[in-house]
């Protein structure tokens, strides 16, 4: 019997096929799904902020793109996935309010996406697909079995990337 | 003086924030009653300090559709304030305000109704900020309101991220209003950390070492 593992805000977890893994209502946060297509071991991180080095109180590893992605990869590899085969898909990073502002805090969705892409590139993990930006929330479900990343939003048809 | 963070707030400070929430929500209820022209009762507000992980389960689930009204705050404190309520509750208030009679609960808001919703948020948060301003003698100037209607967790990601810069918890004030219906509303006040210090010290809770 397969199950769907839940990941909260500023949280991460790993998942082995046939199980799936989900996080509900990504807003400006970014969901990062990673898997090894051969062993079908994967995981999902729900990060809130781009950079742990910008914040004094930074002990919460899954909260930041940089430390969260590192930890996710570490756990997936520890479970038996091949580091060199890992691939990623990402979603989220919306701007929930149409704020006309140069205020950094309001642009955090976009900054989260940029930081996520940068970190994945640094770690040589290809990003196969992304559904980011815009102004609406997303629920995502990831299946390490086939790499399907299912995205649901209010008033929009479900899509798979 | 230690680095202040909401995560290790003493019960004394928590009580002060609770009381501010109480009075603010009380004034907001009065404003709401005047706006829709009926008597509105209010339950004692619940102040909660939540872990991010649990944020989604509040308010009836991460995917529950909510209306969030967000205003930036300037003046003596930099921050923001958000008022959230369920989409059905928002529909109820907008219908009352517009005097159009009750529409189906799941009907989308048109442009005029979105403006009405902004006004609801504006008045409720405005009276909340007013009472906070009077109690603390701090000048608080709100921006125009911004509205989003979406999943609870997605809307909450905005204040959560701002809290996330200071710690690992989010401070939420839950109030239940009753007219014919029971409406749950949530206030989230987001001063930056300096703002919290200013609020507490202006209330005579001087040397903060939380």
Strand A148-152 vs strand A159-160: parallel, antiparallel, or unpaired? antiparallel
Helix axes B111-136, B11-36, angle to 10 degrees: 130
Kindly state the average pLDDT of the residues B145-172: 86
Q: How far apart are CA B160 and CA B115, in angstroms?
A: 25
Residues 6+ apart with CB under 8 A from A21: A4, A5, A6, A7, A13, A14, A15, A33, A42, A43, A44, A141, A142, A144
A49 close contact with B: CB closer than 8 A? yes
Kindly state the average pLDDT of the residues B146-164: 90
The confidence band for B75, taking pLDDT boundaries of 50, 70 and 90, is confident
Would you tell me how many other CB atoms lie within 10 Å of the CB of residue A116?
A: 27
CB-facing half-sphere around the CA of A11: CA atoms within 13 A: 17
A117 close contact with B: CB closer than 8 A? no
Higher pLDDT, A139 or B72: A139
Q: Which of A66, A110, A120 is nearest to A88 (CA)?
A: A120
* B114, B143, B164, B194: best to mutate for the A interface, most A CBs within 10 A: B164
* B83, B144, B165, B195: best to mutate for the A interface, most A CBs within 10 A: B165
Report the residue count for chain B. 210
Higher pLDDT, B5 or B19: B19
On whether the CB atoms of residues A88 and A34 are closer than 8 A, the answer is yes
* A97, A106, A115: best to mutate for the B interface, most B CBs within 10 A: A97
**Is residue A133 scored above 50 in pLDDT?**
yes
Q: Which two tokens stand for residue B10?
A: 């003493």
Which of A18-27, A33-42, A141-150, B39-48 is predicted least confidently?
B39-48
**pLDDT for position A113:** 97
Q: How far apart are CA B63 and CA B66, in angstroms?
A: 9
Residue A18 has phi, psi (to 5 degrees) of -90, 5
> What's this model's pTM, rounded to 2 decimal places?
0.87
On whether the CB atoms of residues B181 and B103 are closer than 8 A, the answer is no
**pLDDT for position B41:** 79
Nearest residue on chain A to B160, alpha-carbon basis: A48
Which of A49-58, A61-70, A145-154, B163-172 is predicted least confidently?
B163-172
On whether the CB atoms of residues A34 and A46 are closer than 8 A, the answer is no
Nearest residue on chain A to B70, alpha-carbon basis: A97
Residue A51: burial class (beta carbons within 10 Å; 0-12, 13-18, 19+): middle
Query: Which active-site residues of A does the annotation give?
Result: 29
Q: How far is CA B171 from each of CA B18, B51, B167, B186, B187, rounded to the nearest angstrom?
A: 10, 9, 11, 10, 9
Show which of residues 61-100 on chain A sit within 8 Å of chain B, judged by CB atoms: 63, 94, 96-99
Higher pLDDT, B94 or B49: B94
Q: Which of A54, A20, A49 is nearest to A145 (CA)?
A: A20
Rounded to a whole number of angstroms, the distance from the CA of A69 to the nearest CA of chain B is 17
**pLDDT for position B4:** 54
Kindly state the average pLDDT of the residues B71-81: 85
- Average pLDDT of the residues of chain B: 81
User: How many CB pairs below 8 Å do chains A and B form together?
Assistant: 113
Kindly state the average pLDDT of the residues A4-18: 94
Q: Which of A143, A124, A146 is nearest to A37 (CA)?
A: A146
Are B63 and A96 an interchain contact pair (Cβ–Cβ within 8 Å)?
no
A135 close contact with B: CB closer than 8 A? yes
Residues 6+ apart with CB under 8 A from B151: A24, A25, A27, A137, A139, A154, B62, B63, B64, B65, B66
The confidence band for B206, taking pLDDT boundaries of 50, 70 and 90, is low
The model's pLDDT over A75-115, given as tens digits with 9 standing for 90+, comes to: 999 999 999 999 999 999 999 987 655 555 568 899 999 99
**Is residue B59 scored above 90 in pLDDT?**
no
**pLDDT for position B1:** 37
Show which of residues 149-168 on chain B sit within 8 Å of chain A, judged by CB atoms: 149-158, 160-162, 164-168
């Amino acid at each position: 019997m397969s199950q769907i593992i839940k990941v909260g805000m500023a949280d991460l977890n790993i998942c082995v096929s046939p199980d799936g893994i989900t996080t509900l209502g990504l807003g400006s946060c970014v969901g990062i799904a990673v898997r090894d297509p051969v062993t079908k071991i994967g995981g999902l991180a729900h990060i809130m902020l781009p950079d742990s080095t910008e914040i004094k109180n930074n002990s919460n590893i899954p909260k930041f793109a940089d430390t969260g992605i590192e930890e996710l990869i570490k756990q997936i590899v520890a479970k038996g996935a091949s580091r060199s085969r890992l691939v990623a898909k990402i979603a989220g990073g919306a701007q929930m309010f149409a704020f006309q502002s140069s205020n950094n805090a309001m642009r955090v969705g976009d900054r989260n996406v940029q930081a996520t892409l940068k970190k994945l590139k640094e770690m040589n993990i290809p990003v196969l697909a992304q559904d980011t930006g815009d102004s609406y929330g997303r629920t995502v479900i990831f299946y390490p079995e086939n790499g399907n990343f299912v995205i649901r939003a209010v008033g929009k048809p479900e899509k798979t990337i | 003086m230690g680095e202040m963070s909401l995560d290790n707030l003493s019960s004394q400070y928590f009580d002060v924030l609770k009381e501010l929430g109480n009075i603010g929500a009380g004034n907001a209820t009065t404003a709401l009653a005047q706006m829709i022209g009926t008597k509105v009762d209010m339950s004692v507000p619940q102040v909660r300090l939540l872990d991010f992980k649990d944020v989604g389960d509040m308010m009836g689930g991460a995917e529950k559709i909510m209306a969030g009204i967000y205003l930036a705050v300037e003046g003596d404190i930099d921050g923001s304030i958000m008022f959230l309520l369920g989409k059905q509750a928002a529909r109820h208030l907008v219908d009352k305000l517009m005097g159009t009679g009750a529409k189906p609960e799941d009907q989308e808001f048109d442009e005029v109704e979105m403006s009405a919703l902004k006004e609801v948020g504006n008045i409720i948060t405005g009276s909340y900020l007013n009472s906070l301003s009077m109690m603390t003698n701090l000048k608080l100037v709100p921006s125009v309101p911004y509205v989003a209607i979406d999943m609870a967790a997605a809307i909450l990601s905005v204040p959560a991220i701002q809290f996330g810069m200071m710690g690992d918890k989010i401070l939420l004030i839950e109030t239940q209003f009753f007219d014919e219906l029971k409406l749950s509303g949530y206030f989230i006040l987001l001063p930056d950390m300096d703002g919290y210090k200013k609020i507490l010290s202006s209330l005579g809770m001087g040397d903060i070492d939380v």
